[in-house]
Amino acid sequence: MMTFYKYQGTGNDFIIVDNRLQKIDKGDTKRIAELCDRRFGIGADGFILLENDENVDFKMVYYNADGNESSMCGNGGRCITAFAKLLGVIKNEAEFIAIDGLHKAKIKNDIVHLQMQDVSIVKAFDSHLFLDTGSPHHVELVTGLKDFEVKANGSKIRYGEPYNKAGSNVNFVEQVSDTTFSVRTYERGVEDETLSCGTGVTAVALAMHKSGKTKSNIVNLNTPGGQLKITFNSDGDGYEDIWLIGPAIKAFKGEIEW
């Protein structure tokens, strides 16, 4: 039997497992996908393993709902930080390694602050912007976001030129105020809209600053699953000291056959 924990960060939900004893077969992608299935398994947007690392507090290994190991997940990074505190691996501050490198995190009043990787390039096109915040993100302004067909339009962009097989996450954005934007995201690997995407809202905040839609270095992002905040510093071209801030909540603990 495998003991698991279910966490969610603004509705972006994850199965998280303590794998410090290396009992989980990380090559069994079929089983990981089954566990993430919302009808025949536990149900989640992703599957995360917490493992030991010689140099930092822990290692994060992240899989998309399709069972494949994936690029960085921001909300997953916040949730595994809260999980590490629950296990006693950390107190209120952490350094951990993920697929995109080193991350720092801190917990203040149950809100998790996750430092993201610096972003040196934001590509601007006529209809959208593109950047990598640990995962690739297409950012596009739309009107009528509430009724927008995210899955239909997102899937076309995700598989279209120039992304093709590798794909991109797709964020549709509507401006609310000078410092606030609403976001809906189609995530590759989930192949559907998720209630929130951490690397996605990070990409949106930077893209909106780059395009002049906001001059603030503190940006609020409304997602279907709740509100997140991004803070950053800009050197004129790129962005550094980027923090993804929001709640990470344990939903339940359970056991299931691996």
Measured at the CA of 114, the angle between CA 111 and CA 115, to 5 degrees, comes to 145
Report d(CA 53, CA 198) in Å as an integer.
Answer: 24
Check whether the bond before 224 is cis (ω within 30° of 0).
no
> Strand, helix or coil at 16?
strand
Nearby residues of 216 by Cβ (< 8 Å), 6 or more positions away: 178, 179, 209
For residue 147, what is the DSSP state?
Answer: G
CA pair distance 189, 209, nearest whole angstrom: 28
Q: Which residues pair with 140 in a beta bridge?
A: 172
Active site residues: 73, 197
Q: At CA 79, angle to CA 76 and CA 83, rounded to 5? A: 130
